Amino acid sequence: MRMQGKVALITGGAAGIGKATAQRFAEEGATVVICDLNAAAGEQTAAELGPNARFYPVDVTDRQAVQAWVNDVQARYGRIDVLINNAGIVRDHQLVRVKEGEPLRMMSEADFDLVIAVNLKGVFNCTQAVAPAMIEQGSGSIVSASSVVGLDGNFGQTNYVATKAGVIGMTKVWARELGRYGIRVNAIAPGFIGTDILASMPEKVLAGLAAHTPLRRMGEPREVANAYLFLASDEASFVSGAVLRVDGGLVVGT
């Protein structure tokens, strides 16, 4: 029961890695508060987790909605111990796609801006909202989702890579700024994880992803959730500013 008595906020907690993380935290005794845009899935997940779980429909790009969420959680439970910045999206395109010397398509400005808003500004919004509560109580743990592509880059993911590299940068800044208040800030960098997004890909593509991973398989959402749990728990009490790869030994592009 490593999270007994702790209140944990998890963004993007209705499905996939977020849901697996909510389940692991609940198993370890946490009061779990998830947010997501998918209200139906969020309510179902909270119901499955039991009486110590609660769902809020929140768009992490909306600063006022995020602040209202955090304020309500603090008023209801009296503290916020953990923030898991898990919410994220992809809108993959090449910077410029060329055929026979002629540009066919470019990554749209709208797709670039949307991914930046959710994956990068959303992390900023949520972290800035919870920081005063954690400072006041003199403790807290913030863990954000980066990615191996934020470390190594990846073909066709200019916008996504920019956000995940940015999360790493912000993590290191916040670890320095907030450490004096007893707040630890870390990030995880998952590789290819078997979520619903990947499940929709052709079998040949999935086999290729597994072949590029030295452990010769994709990760499971629960394995990423375990990394979140470790970094959020007191077992990682002297870990801050770190980026933990959860990737089966993957080096992107090899």
Q: Residue 200 is encoded by which pair of tokens?
A: 């929709």
228 labelled catalytic: no
Mutual angle of helices 63-77 and 122-137, in 10-degree steps: 30
Place of tokens 């052709």: 202
Alpha carbon distance 105, 111 (integer Å): 13
The amino acid at residue 167 is: V
Q: Residue 187: enclosing H or E segment and its boundaries?
A: strand 183-190
Q: Choosing from 56, 77, 160, 181, which is the catalytic residue?
A: 160
108: left (phi over 0), alpha (psi -120 to 50) or beta: beta
So which residues are the catalytic ones?
Answer: 160
